Amino acid sequence: MNPATSVLLTDLYQLTMLQGYHDLGMEDTAVFEFFVRRLRPGRGFLLAAGLEQSLAFLEQLHFTPEELEWLASTRRFSKAFLASLEGLRFTGDVHAMPEGTVFFPNEPILRVTAPIAQAQLVETRLINLLHLQTLIASKAARSVLMAPNRLLVDFGLRRAHGAESGLLAARASYIAGFSGTSAVLAGQQFGIPLYGTMAHSFIQAHDDEALAFEHFAHAQPDNVVLLIDTWDTEAAAHKVVALAPKLTRAGIRIKGVRIDSGDLAEHARRVRTILDAGGLDHVIIFASGDLDEYALRDMLAAGAPVDGFGVGTHLDTSSDLPYLDCVYKLQEYAGRARRKRSEGKATWPGRKQVYRRHDADDRMGGDVVTLETDPQPGEPLLIPVMRGGCRLAPPPALAEVRRHAARSLARLPEPLRRLEEFTYQVEIAPALHELAAQIDQNTLAGTTRLET
Amino acid sequence: MNPATSVLLTDLYQLTMLQGYHDLGMEDTAVFEFFVRRLRPGRGFLLAAGLEQSLAFLEQLHFTPEELEWLASTRRFSKAFLASLEGLRFTGDVHAMPEGTVFFPNEPILRVTAPIAQAQLVETRLINLLHLQTLIASKAARSVLMAPNRLLVDFGLRRAHGAESGLLAARASYIAGFSGTSAVLAGQQFGIPLYGTMAHSFIQAHDDEALAFEHFAHAQPDNVVLLIDTWDTEAAAHKVVALAPKLTRAGIRIKGVRIDSGDLAEHARRVRTILDAGGLDHVIIFASGDLDEYALRDMLAAGAPVDGFGVGTHLDTSSDLPYLDCVYKLQEYAGRARRKRSEGKATWPGRKQVYRRHDADDRMGGDVVTLETDPQPGEPLLIPVMRGGCRLAPPPALAEVRRHAARSLARLPEPLRRLEEFTYQVEIAPALHELAAQIDQNTLAGTTRLET
């Protein structure tokens, strides 16, 4: 059983509401939008990701006979309703920001327009997919900005939250600008470059550290990155220097060393000195262990001679912000704009578009969120990607998505690129304020009679 | 492609090390142990979970022809090595703490004894599986302790990190004592009780809130829990009261109301008053929205009349502690104990057992971590669960695991049950200190000649 493709990977209330829509004959078109409500201080921007998996999910949406049989066995649903699910497919339209687009709170990055049952049913999994990859891409972008021109590798699979999280974190971080991942499956599935060195266990299983280095070099002659912190980092660096001539005679070149514990910057400086003195100035230093974007910034600001970083747990769990306050909300039904006004959770109604202006220096200069029917200056960020359940174009190559992300990050206002406190201007257009006010007035009067 | 069952869901370095072990003919038995290194202040205990999925993973471990073909295409590995992977299966032994056992840092909860290639290869996925469910079970237990005798439902699927995370978070929180989950797939896969109400979209898609309530009640007559905070919570509660007699005449009983925004405790008090005055004292109040164990504690301490809680994002992402500092480390190879001494990450060597004493009042009174060959008073917590790659018993029923967890949590020292700062005594036995010192001495002398 693959949980990633089962339609039962949803909340029970989607199915109970669908039973309701079925009984009531509610089949009109609904418009739902996915957006992030707010970001906590210290986080200035987001990077959209997860659209590809979302569209793939919509394309294959269906109930298997076994799933329907099991639903029947719960005795929660009527036979007529379950029969109606047999042929259910996603036949709606999707508008979205391309993956790798920078965005901000209150800006929808995906809009679903479909018969209400379909649009409702997919809520849980769409949030689940968009949330995860957007979360990780947004986190990864911060390391990319803090360590430009360094080798950045996702090492987080082991502490990612489950299989899909590790696989898609590799994808999301690659989109954001990471060089690659240690997760082999991400190489096979997405063609993401793979990186890997050796673990302490390889050293420990040998009686002698230098012998372990030599053995590993012969087993992986094209990828000799030696882990040197198992017992004494500087002593191990000297062993590397001593070993190098012997390996050279065997035609093997040491590519790098990895340091995984202690004061990484200080060890890197000492190890650099040892390697250089030993004629190994071509050997790169790779650091790992409890790293995040701030650790990278501080190490590089201190001039630590580190050429690459393995970023693991903090990346794959987005440890400082392990979730986004993101939702998928009904904005229109049966041709009429809708709004919830729950305390602290009110929504802006209607089908929306986001327009972005760029300054003379090609940096982002401010966004406007408004109704689709209210064009504004600037670039519209939501584009049609699916119509009648079919994609409008084949999925872009991952390399293209990654380039789009790089361009998008390059156009961030400078304070955001430096991860400084900065509030980017996102204007809610007058048209939206007016529509919201009209709906509120009608709702208070007991109805929502507004035609959009 | 199901990432959860692919052997390629691993770190590249496992495969490069395996190439090394293969070339060197290193086939001796290795012993690896999984443990948590440390917990951050404020978190006093852990609840073991994930063993069942770990054993299932080991049982089915294999490379498919397609996976081997793809590995060959990367040109990283020798033909002889790849050929050796064809018949690879897990043939080792596993000792573990049963799921639902309380444990602490430095205590192994799983030990793998197998030829080094097998034991090494499974590191990434074993950590990935044990980490996730232990993380969530440990978080969930805190809500269970803070809200005894309340209905607790996992609502976190949408913001869990991917499909498997949502599915297994439902399982882990159920083990810890939650009543059930909204995740339908967890009902189908694990038989976990399902709970669900309705979303704001159902209300919004109607022109009239009272009509939406009535429609929903008819569609789900056995499960009428009405969401009352879409526009005005107290006004909606009055609508519920007004609707009740009509539903009663149709043979439908309102089971509960759900409040999802605002000051939940204050709304609950007002709504309780309205419902009681309207003769609906049997209608339960269910609260959701940004809840964690502290919110539950505070609401109940303030006497808020809340009968049940939907706990979502904070549970499924373990938001205050989104990862555990957990590792899987080589402790013995070829009959000799091994140790890494990396700064801040040194390990205790050898095959270990954990003994737990209980006080006269049947509360946990202290643990001792020692060598397997050094019996101590108390209950040994690690038991054999797999031998020669085969389980020693069928998986226990989830209900039994849940009962074991309840017993385990009931025996916690009282301060830990109240989530207070408290350091439970975990003694590292003299035998371990001595072994570590001997290994260090031998390592410094350039060898690790110690026989265990």
- How many C-beta atoms lie closer than 10 Å to residue B252's C-beta? 18
Pairing of strands A93-96, A256-259: unpaired
What percent of chain B is modeled with pLDDT above 90?
94
Work out the average pLDDT over B291-295: 98
Using alpha carbons only, give the angle B414, B416, B418 rounded to the nearest 5 degrees.
75
Q: Which residue from A minimizes the CA distance to B68?
A: A188
Instruction: Identify whether the C-beta of residue B127 lies closer than 8 Å to the C-beta of residue B328.
Output: yes
Please indicate whether, in this complex, the C-beta atoms of A207 and B322 are within 8 angstroms of each other: no
Q: What is the pLDDT of residue B255?
A: 97
Among residues A71, A45, A224, A209, which one has the least CA distance to residue A138?
Answer: A45
Q: What is the pLDDT of residue B344?
A: 84
Instruction: Identify whether the C-beta of residue B96 lies closer than 8 Å to the C-beta of residue B110.
Output: yes
Using alpha carbons only, give the angle B354, B358, B364 rounded to the nearest 5 degrees.
75
Per-residue pLDDT at B166 exceeds 80: yes
Instruction: Identify whether the C-beta of residue A401 lies closer than 8 Å to the C-beta of residue A175.
Output: yes
Which of B:349-388 have CB within 8 Å of A? none
Q: How far is A72 from chain B (nearest CA, A)?
A: 11
Domains of chain A: 3-136+323-444 (3.20.140.10), 147-194+308-319 (no CATH), 197-288 (3.20.20.70)
Q: What is the pLDDT of residue A452?
A: 33
Per-residue pLDDT at B444 exceeds 80: no
Among residues B289, B288, B271, which one has the least CA distance to residue B280?
Answer: B271
Lowest mean pLDDT among B111-120, B164-173, B335-344: B335-344
Q: What is the pLDDT of residue B345?
A: 84
Q: Which residue from B minimizes the CA distance to A28?
A: B205
Instruction: Identify whether the C-beta of residue A335 lies closer than 8 Å to the C-beta of residue A452.
Output: yes
Q: What is the pLDDT of residue B399?
A: 98
Using alpha carbons only, give the angle A325, A328, A331 rounded to the nearest 5 degrees.
125
Which of B:411-440 have CB within 8 Å of A? none
Q: What is the pLDDT of residue B393?
A: 97
Looking up tokens 């021109």 gives: A149
Cβ burial, residue A397 (10 Å; 0-12/13-18/19+)? exposed
pLDDT, tens digit, 9 for 90 and up, residues B322-357:
999 999 999 999 999 999 888 888 899 999 999 999
Q: What is the pLDDT of residue B446?
A: 42
Q: How far is A443 from chain B (nearest CA, A)?
A: 8
Work out the average pLDDT over B19-46: 96
CB of B84 within 8 Å of a chain A CB? The answer is: no
Using alpha carbons only, give the angle B449, B451, B452 rounded to the nearest 5 degrees.
140
pLDDT, tens digit, 9 for 90 and up, residues B34-84:
999 999 998 999 999 999 999 999 999 999 999 999 999 999 999 999 999
CB of A67 within 8 Å of a chain B CB? The answer is: yes
Please indicate whether, in this complex, the C-beta atoms of A204 and B157 are within 8 angstroms of each other: no
Q: Which of B184, B194, B321 to mutate to test the interface with A (most CBs of A within 10 A)?
A: B184
What percent of chain B is modeled with pLDDT above 70?
98
pLDDT in tens, chain A (452 residues): 889 999 999 999 999 999 999 999 999 999 999 999 999 998 999 999 999 999 999 999 999 999 999 999 999 999 999 999 999 999 999 999 999 999 999 999 999 999 999 999 999 999 999 999 999 999 999 999 999 999 999 999 999 999 999 999 999 999 999 999 999 999 999 999 999 989 999 999 998 999 999 999 999 999 999 999 999 999 999 999 999 999 999 999 999 999 999 999 999 999 999 999 999 999 999 999 999 999 999 999 999 999 999 999 999 999 999 999 999 999 999 999 999 888 888 899 999 999 999 999 999 999 999 999 999 999 999 999 999 999 999 999 999 999 999 999 999 999 999 999 999 999 999 999 999 999 988 875 443 433 33
Of B162, B219, B230, the CB nearest to A168: B162
What is the distance between the alpha carbons of residues A155 and A170, in angstroms, rounded to a whole number?
A: 9
What is the distance between the alpha carbons of residues A227 and A212, in angstroms, rounded to a whole number?
A: 10
Using alpha carbons only, give the angle B262, B266, B270 rounded to the nearest 5 degrees.
115
Contacts of A164 in chain B (CB under 8 A): 3-4, 161-165
Q: What is the pLDDT of residue A441?
A: 87
Q: What is the pLDDT of residue A446?
A: 42
Q: Which of A67, A161, A239 to mutate to test the interface with B (most CBs of B within 10 A)?
A: A161
Per-residue pLDDT at B450 exceeds 90: no
The β-bridge partners of B310 are B153, B288
Q: What is the pLDDT of residue B451?
A: 35
State how far Cα A394 lies from the chain centre: 20
CB pairs under 8 A between A and B: 362
Q: Which of A13, A82, A442 to mutate to test the interface with B (most CBs of B within 10 A)?
A: A13
CB of A442 within 8 Å of a chain B CB? The answer is: no
CB of B139 within 8 Å of a chain A CB? The answer is: no
ipTM of the complex: 0.96
**Residue that wins the pLDDT comparison between A298 and B1:** A298
DSSP code, position A11: B
Contacts of A2 in chain B (CB under 8 A): 1-2, 4
What is the distance between the alpha carbons of residues B240 and B257, in angstroms, rounded to a whole number?
A: 9
Of A185, A195, A231, the CB nearest to B8: A185
Q: Is A112 helix (H, G, I), strand (E, B) or coil?
A: strand
Beta strands in A147-279 (DSSP E): 151-154, 180-181, 225-227, 256-259
Looking up tokens 């609840």 gives: B47
Contacts of A198 in chain B (CB under 8 A): 13, 16-17, 20
Q: Which of B2, B7, B12 to mutate to test the interface with A (most CBs of A within 10 A)?
A: B12
Instruction: Identify whether the C-beta of residue B164 lies closer than 8 Å to the C-beta of residue A165.
Output: yes
Cβ burial, residue B319 (10 Å; 0-12/13-18/19+)? middle
CB of A245 within 8 Å of a chain B CB? The answer is: no
Looking up tokens 């290869």 gives: B121
Please indicate whether, in this complex, the C-beta atoms of A123 and B199 are within 8 angstroms of each other: yes
Q: What is the pLDDT of residue A343?
A: 83
Which of A:287-326 have CB within 8 Å of B? 313, 317-319, 322-324, 326
Please indicate whether, in this complex, the C-beta atoms of B341 and A160 are within 8 angstroms of each other: no
The β-bridge partners of B426 are B367
Work out the average pLDDT over B274-297: 97
Residue B53's contacts (CB-CB under 8 Å, 6 or more residues apart) are B129, B133, B168
Among residues B6, B163, B4, B322, which one has the least CA distance to residue A50?
Answer: B163
Residue B403's contacts (CB-CB under 8 Å, 6 or more residues apart) are B100
Of A3, A12, A131, the CB nearest to B194: A12
Cβ burial, residue A37 (10 Å; 0-12/13-18/19+)? middle
Among residues B168, B116, B138, B95, which one has the least CA distance to residue B325?
Answer: B138
β-sheet with A336-337: strand ranges across: A336-337, A326-333, A29-36, A110-115, A93-96, A383-387, A390-391
Q: Which residue from B minimizes the CA distance to A183?
A: B11
What is the distance between the alpha carbons of residues A183 and A190, in angstroms, rounded to a whole number?
A: 11
